[in-house]
Chains A and B, each alone.
Chain A
Amino acid sequence: MSVALSAQEITRALTRISHEILEKNQGSTNIVLLGIPTRGAHIATRISSIITSIEGTEVPTGTLDITLFRDDLRMRPPRAIMPTKIPTSGIEGKDVILVDDVLFSGRTIRAALDALGEIGRPRTVALAALVDRGHRELPIKADFVGKNLPTSKSQSVKVLLSEIDGRDEVTIEEGAE
């Protein structure tokens, strides 16, 4: 097991992502952050509070569960459905930023785009990921990346967040789950 990102590096990466989001969208006025449960939701909340501390404005932040839209449901036992909370301002005409912890095959994001399509029509959809570990199976790419982490398919990437795991850390372990 090796540590890919320390707690401090995670904070720096999220701070940089927050600045990049603001820069690309020329401010925070039309942004909606949607985190993909479980860890993506916590990362979205953190980015939201960093943006608030930079700009002084609240950014509508919610969660988007993609379980019901997955394409691999039949291959695994049923999964628990996590909450979907869309901010009251909605996503119609907004610049939605999807937030996830690890970008891997891209299938989660495909499902997220389907889930978004059921809710409304954002003006743009962008993707922020704390870690991009490669091995895409679909033509999907992140707009904001905390760290590009070259991995082999036999390794597994674990993101630990203090909200759930008690500490912040990203590790690479040998042997896929």
Chain B
Amino acid sequence: MKHLLSIADLNKSEAISILDTATELGRVSDGAVKKLPTLRGRTIVNLFAEDSTRTRISFEAAAKRLSADVINFSAKGSSLSKGESLKDTAMTLQAMGADAVVIRHPASGAAQRLAESEWMSGSVVNAGDGTHEHPSQALLDAFTIRKHLGMGGTDLSGLSVAIVGDILHSRVARSNVLLLSMLGAKVTLVAPPTLLPVGIQSWPATVSYDLDAVIPHVDVVMMLRVQQERMSDLFFPNAREYSRYFGLNGERMANMKSGAIVMHPGPMNRGLEISAEVADSARSVITEQVTNGVSVRMAILYVLLAGGALEVGSN
């Protein structure tokens, strides 16, 4: 495996092996060992053409724990904001000898364009492209679910997951539907019809418009952020109405199964899709998702970079 662009690039055993690797790497970072020499001498560029807190910091921490050199590069403060093209940026990175580029970009397909181009030879990791995919987030979500609710198995069979909210604009939802269903979970999407993409019938998931009917039957409620920055039209009448029908509050949380967990990929709009009471409750694993993100991203970088694929011909 050279690139991680989409969950569709992975088969079930590859996905499980990334989760297993993350489990072992997580034990490493729990203990006294914070740094491993595995990727010493490798250069990883974080190319972030779109704002991010968690994903960028998480990839940076993951790369540093594996002793890689990290170059951070964001749209603000770089020539991207002067209108430099992706091609010229990529060729600059190639000239500097980047072994891998972690890319976030507002355009869907940007990571794939970079991977398939001849602009650079390193690995490409998609850290979110437009409204397409965010595979590392889905892997860390699956990892978190398996850690909490996986019944000793390696996959997620027997579990049901509700993904609630702005499915239309959510790359997290796309990647999660693919990954969670591949791992055997039953996925239900809950959203107002205006926030569901065209062609949703072909996704490996069921659709509901009624959050209250779904909540008592699922093991995981994954809330999505309402992505106002991507909304050019009016998708729902007003925030209060959205919150009333599709927000997760304390009252709804009380109807959840015992042991069921609440997830959110962040950043949260507290009071819109999730109430502060829920976000800070014992069911919430939101901060744990962030912790697990580092282990999962270490596993991704390990799988893509530790092997010899890039060094064909040497030795």
- Where the two chains meet, the residues of A that have a C-beta atom closer than 8 Å to any C-beta of B are 65, 68-69, 73-78, 80-84, 86, 114, 118-120
Q: Which residues of B contact A73 (CB under 8 A)?
A: 38, 306-308
Q: 8 Å CB contacts to A: which residues of B13-42?
A: 17, 20-21, 24-25, 27-28, 31-33, 35-38
B91 contacts chain A at the CB level, 8 A cutoff: no
**In the assembled complex, B107 has its CB within 8 A of some CB on chain A:** no
User: Which residue in chain A gives the minimum CB-CB distance to B304?
Assistant: A78
Q: Are B37 and A69 in contact (CB under 8 A)?
A: yes
Contact of A78 with B36 in the complex, beta carbons under 8 Å = no
- Nearest chain B CB to A90 CB, angstrom units: 9
Q: Which of B112-169 contact A (CB under 8 A)?
A: none
In Å, the complex CA distance between A65 and B38 comes to 13
Known A-B contacts A83-B27, A114-B37; A78 and B32 likewise in contact (beta carbons under 8 Å): no
User: Are A75 and B24 within 8 A (Cβ)?
Assistant: no
Counted as pairs of residues, one from A and one from B, with CB atoms less than 8 Å apart, the total is 58
Q: How large is the interface on B (under 10, 10 to 19, 20 to 34, 35 or more residues)?
A: 20 to 34
Question: Is B251 part of the binding interface, using a Cβ–Cβ cutoff of 8 Å?
Answer: no
* 16 further interface pairs, Cβ-Cβ under 8 Å (given A69-B37, A75-B315): A68-B66, A73-B307, A73-B308, A74-B314, A76-B307, A78-B303, A78-B306, A80-B17, A80-B20, A80-B21, A81-B20, A81-B302, A83-B27, A119-B32, A119-B33, A120-B32
Q: Are the C-beta atoms of B308 and A76 separated by less than 8 Å? A: yes
Question: Do B38 and A84 have beta carbons less than 8 Å apart?
Answer: no
Q: Using known A-B contacts A83-B24, A84-B24, determine if residue A68 contacts B35 with beta carbons closer than 8 Å.
A: no
Asked if B33 and A81 make an inter-chain contact with CB atoms under 8 angstroms apart, the answer reads: no
A75 touching B311, Cβ below 8 Å: yes
Smallest distance from the beta carbon of B63 to chain A beta carbons, Å? Answer: 14
Instruction: Say yes or no for B254: interface residue by CB 8 A criterion.
Output: no
Can you list 27 A-B contacts with CB-CB less than 8 angstroms, sorted by A residue number? A68-B38, A68-B66, A68-B302, A69-B38, A73-B308, A74-B308, A74-B311, A74-B315, A75-B314, A75-B315, A77-B307, A78-B303, A78-B306, A78-B307, A80-B20, A80-B21, A81-B21, A81-B24, A81-B25, A82-B24, A83-B24, A84-B27, A84-B28, A114-B37, A118-B33, A119-B31, A119-B32
Choice from A68, A74, A80, A86 contacting B37 with Cβ under 8 Å = A68
Across the interface, A77 reaches (CB within 8 A) one of B27, B28, B309, B314, namely B309
